[in-house]
Structure 1
């Protein structure tokens, strides 16, 4: 489970993005180890697109 803050304004998205970027590496590692790795990675892909973190 990943907890995200509610959508606020454009200025706060950078703060959210930086926090998520630090944790996303760990989330991806756990997703890759899961029995349903493909499904787990697809869930993360939505977050990566939303926050512009496709390089992770």
Structure 2
């Protein structure tokens, strides 16, 4: 399953769903977004970039 959320939300979800933490790979959301941007280099405007920055802050 792939989804984006805060570390606290993820930890709560894993605990509540009784998922074995040994089978979980956590990713750094900020790094993932930066790397995706570097790979795909999508054209965007300043407003969209600010919204993305606020989302990942």
Q: Normalised by the shorter chain, which TM-score bucket?
A: 0.3 to 0.5
- TM-score between the two structures when normalised by the length of structure 2: 0.36
Q: Larger RCO: Structure 1 or Structure 2 (Cα < 8 Å, ≥ 6 residues apart)?
A: 2
Larger Rg: 2
